[in-house]
């Protein structure tokens, strides 16, 4: 059974249709990368999956249960209250610009959500947070504040913060786009190391080599549609003019 | 010379005592106004930012009137309004209440705009992150947004709070015996300027103290940017 299914999603902002009938599927533990030029709707797709944006048509299915859809008459049905909390606990999102809480220490950024929002025990959460920080190579930073960290360190804290809620699926919205090449490397390394946690990941990225190495499945989006999809090998070798042009430009 | 150097018939210590009593009254106007206007301003700013057009419009009009007319006029309106509008009996007991009401609704309007500037300067990413991490709407505001807003608006708040200290002297227009009213009375009776100088010193010291405390508060929040 797929962990996430998005079927026939459409989304427009004003008169601009950003997503035109896209469907995708993510299985448990699977890594999906979404690549494509800026403005092709990649991030919007993630924002729809995480319900930061509402869809204009189609349906979103988590764990086999339809949680959000649009009725034939255009009425949008979204989960509310306890149901939304339950659905929301399935996924996490890592933002391009981290969105850490600047007034909280690294430790509080990571531990406050599980303690207050999932009502988990303080000791257990702190122990787990320390393990996560170690995995991120930040064990000496637990008392630091975000403003004292580099961008790469901030992003690793943000990843730890998302993981601390034990999501089944983690979305990454261009996690390295705000970072220089050196910092990009350290964040990508951390994301790769998450593969053994066996949580599903959906990664919107411009790092082609990274996407090629890590992904079970890749979607190339262009102008709001899925232009090419398949395994990394299939996608990067596909005979698709728009995608080859996109890849070619990246190599220069 | 005796106009400036105190040479009146009233003893200096008695004058100080009377001004000190006025000072306490000024301070109570100050404290009560903050107590009511700070939370009221927050609710006004919520109304001002509401999606409900009627509420939003009403708050705009309210803020516009409060900022667009003199506080002294507002004091008179709140005090005499009930009599002229409803023929209500306004006794001396109402005087202090009227002062606190007028100051509170006036300052709430200014505070509301300061809160709004702070709240609207927060990046949407903070709300989105909070939402994804499972914070409810109210805890998002109370735990994530509001503490950061306070840090951002503190310098403008300091300005308003300092202005309020000096504005308490406007209570003289309702003949309330705060410090400035008393200074004026003594100065008139003794034909001497000294009470005003002492009053000025009192205001200044009070202000310096408040400014110092606000600076401390600002420093206590400087551990993050």
| φ, ψ (nearest 5 deg) of residue B201 | -60, -45
Task: Tell me the domain boundaries of chain B.
Answer: 12-220
Q: What confidence tens digit (pLDDT) does each residue in A11-42 have?
A: 999 889 999 999 999 999 899 999 998 888 99
How would you write B85-117 as a 3-class SS string? HHCCCCCCHHHHHHHHHHHHHHHHHHHHHHHHH
Q: CA of B33: how far to CAs of A141, A213, A215, B101, B102, in Å? A: 43, 64, 61, 8, 9
**Residue A169: band (very low, low, confident or very high) from pLDDT cuts 50, 70, 90:** very high
Contact between chains at B129 and A88 (C-beta distance less than 8 A)? no
CB-based contact, A166 to chain B, within 8 Å:
no
**Residue B2: band (very low, low, confident or very high) from pLDDT cuts 50, 70, 90:** very low
Contact between chains at A103 and B224 (C-beta distance less than 8 A)? yes
Contact between chains at B143 and A99 (C-beta distance less than 8 A)? no
CB atoms within 10 A of CB A209: 10
The residue in chain B having the minimum alpha-carbon distance to the alpha carbon of residue A85 is B134
The enclosing H or E element of A67 equals strand A65-70
Distance from C-alpha of A30 to C-alpha of A83, rounded to nearest angstrom: 25
Assess whether pLDDT exceeds 70 at residue A251. Answer: no
Give the pLDDT of residue A245: 86
Lowest mean pLDDT among A203-212, B29-38, B142-151: A203-212
Give the pLDDT of residue B59: 96
DSSP state at residue B171:
G
Distance from CA of A242 to the nearest CA of B (A): 32
Give the pLDDT of residue B220: 92
Assess whether pLDDT exceeds 60 at residue B101. Answer: yes
Of A24, A63, A61, nearest to A45 by C-alpha is: A24
CB A33 within 8 A of CB A198: no
For chain B positions 14-33, those within 8 Å of chain A (CB to CB) are none
| Closest residue to B132, CB basis, from A50, A97, A145 | A50
Q: What average pLDDT does this structure show over B45-57?
A: 96
CB-based contact, A54 to chain B, within 8 Å:
no
Give the pLDDT of residue A97: 93
Q: What confidence tens digit (pLDDT) does each residue in A68-114 have?
A: 999 988 899 999 988 999 999 999 999 999 999 999 999 999 999 99
For chain A positions 13-42, those within 8 Å of chain B (CB to CB) are none
Over chain A, what is the mean pLDDT? 92
Q: What average pLDDT does this structure show over B60-64?
A: 97
CB-based contact, A167 to chain B, within 8 Å:
no
Residue among B130, B132, B139 with most chain A CBs within 10 A, to mutate = B132
Size of interface A-B (CB pairs under 8 A): 58
**Residue B8: band (very low, low, confident or very high) from pLDDT cuts 50, 70, 90:** low
Assess whether pLDDT exceeds 70 at residue B39. Answer: yes
Give the pLDDT of residue B14: 84
| Closest residue to B225, CB basis, from A100, A102, A116 | A102
CB-based contact, A103 to chain B, within 8 Å:
yes
Q: What confidence tens digit (pLDDT) does each residue in B145-202 have?
A: 999 999 999 999 999 999 999 999 999 888 888 888 888 888 888 888 888 888 899 9
Residue among A90, A92, A103, A119 with most chain B CBs within 10 A, to mutate = A103
Assess whether pLDDT exceeds 60 at residue A181. Answer: yes
pTM here is: 0.89
Residue among A54, A97, A99, A144 with most chain B CBs within 10 A, to mutate = A99
| Closest residue to B133, CB basis, from A97, A145, A165 | A165
Over chain B, what is the mean pLDDT? 90
Assess whether pLDDT exceeds 70 at residue A237. Answer: yes
Give the pLDDT of residue A252: 52
Give the pLDDT of residue B1: 41
Sign of the CA dihedral with B150 first, then B152, B155, and B159 last: negative
**Residue B15: band (very low, low, confident or very high) from pLDDT cuts 50, 70, 90:** confident
| Closest residue to B225, CB basis, from A89, A92, A147 | A147
CB-based contact, B56 to chain A, within 8 Å:
no
Give the pLDDT of residue B5: 56
Residue B84, both tokens = 């002229």
CB-based contact, A83 to chain B, within 8 Å:
no
| φ, ψ (nearest 5 deg) of residue A201 | -135, 140
Collapsing DSSP to helix, strand or coil, B12 comes out as helix
Contact list in B for residue A88 (CB cut-off 8 A) is 131-132, 134
CB A176 within 8 A of CB A155: yes
Residue B14 or residue B136, greater confidence:
B136
| φ, ψ (nearest 5 deg) of residue A167 | -75, 160
The residue in chain B having the minimum alpha-carbon distance to the alpha carbon of residue A167 is B133
Q: What average pLDDT does this structure show over B35-56?
A: 96
CB atoms within 10 A of CB B172: 20
Contact between chains at A103 and B128 (C-beta distance less than 8 A)? no
Assess whether pLDDT exceeds 90 at residue B140. Answer: yes
The CATH code for residues B12-220 is: 1.10.3720.10
Q: How much of chain A exceeds pLDDT 70, in percent?
A: 98
Contact between chains at A102 and B143 (C-beta distance less than 8 A)? no
């Amino acid at each position: 059974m797929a962990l996430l299914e998005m079927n026939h999603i459409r989304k427009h902002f004003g008169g601009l249709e950003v997503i035109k009938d896209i469907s995708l599927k993510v299985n448990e533990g699977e890594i999906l990368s979404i690549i494509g030029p800026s403005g092709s709707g990649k991030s919007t797709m993630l924002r729809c999956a995480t319900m930061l944006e509402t869809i204009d048509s189609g349906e979103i299915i988590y764990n086999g249960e339809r949680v959000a859809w649009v009725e034939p008459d255009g009425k949008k049905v979204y989960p509310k209250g306890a149901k939304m909390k339950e659905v929301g606990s399935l996924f996490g999102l890592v933002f391009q610009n981290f969105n850490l809480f600047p007034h909280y220490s690294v430790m509080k950024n990571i531990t406050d959500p599980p303690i207050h929002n999932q009502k988990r025990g303080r000791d257990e959460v702190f122990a787990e947070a320390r393990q996560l920080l170690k995995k991120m190579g930040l064990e000496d930073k637990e008392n630091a504040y975000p403003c004292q960290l580099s961008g790469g360190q901030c992003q690793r804290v943000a990843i730890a913060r998302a993981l601390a809620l034990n999501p089944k699926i983690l979305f990454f919205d261009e996690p390295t786009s705000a970072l220089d090449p050196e910092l990009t490397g350290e964040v990508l390394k951390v994301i790769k190391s998450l593969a053994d946690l066996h949580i599903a990941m959906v990664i919107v990225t411009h790092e082609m080599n990274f996407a090629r190495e890590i992904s079970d499945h890749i979607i190339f989006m262009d102008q709001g549609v899925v232009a090419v999809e398949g395994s990394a090998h299939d996608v990067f070798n596909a005979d698709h003019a728009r995608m080859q042009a996109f890849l070619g430009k990246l190599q220069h | 010379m005796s106009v400036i150097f105190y040479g009146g018939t009233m003893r200096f210590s008695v004058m100080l005592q009377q001004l000190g009593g006025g000072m306490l009254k000024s301070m109570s106007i100050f404290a009560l106004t903050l107590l009511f206007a700070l939370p009221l301003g927050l609710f006004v700013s919520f109304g001002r930012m509401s999606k409900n057009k009627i509420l939003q419009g009403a708050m705009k009009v309210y803020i516009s009137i409060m900022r667009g007319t003199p506080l002294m006029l507002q004091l008179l309106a709140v005090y005499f309004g009930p009599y002229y509008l409803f023929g209500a009996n306004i006794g001396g007991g109402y005087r202090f209440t009227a002062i606190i009401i007028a100051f509170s609704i006036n300052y709430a309007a200014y505070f509301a705009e300061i809160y709004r500037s702070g709240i609207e300067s927060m990046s949407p990413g903070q709300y989105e992150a909070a939402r994804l991490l499972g914070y409810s709407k109210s805890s998002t505001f109370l735990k994530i947004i509001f503490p950061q807003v306070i840090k951002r608006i503190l310098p403008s708040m300091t300005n308003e709070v300092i202005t309020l200290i000096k504005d308490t002297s406007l209570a003289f227009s309702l003949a309330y015996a705060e410090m400035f009213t008393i200074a004026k009375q003594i100065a008139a009776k003794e034909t001497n300027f000294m009470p005003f100088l002492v009053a000025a010193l009192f205001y200044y010291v009070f202000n310096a103290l408040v400014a110092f405390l606000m600076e401390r508060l600002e420093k206590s929040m400087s551990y993050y940017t």
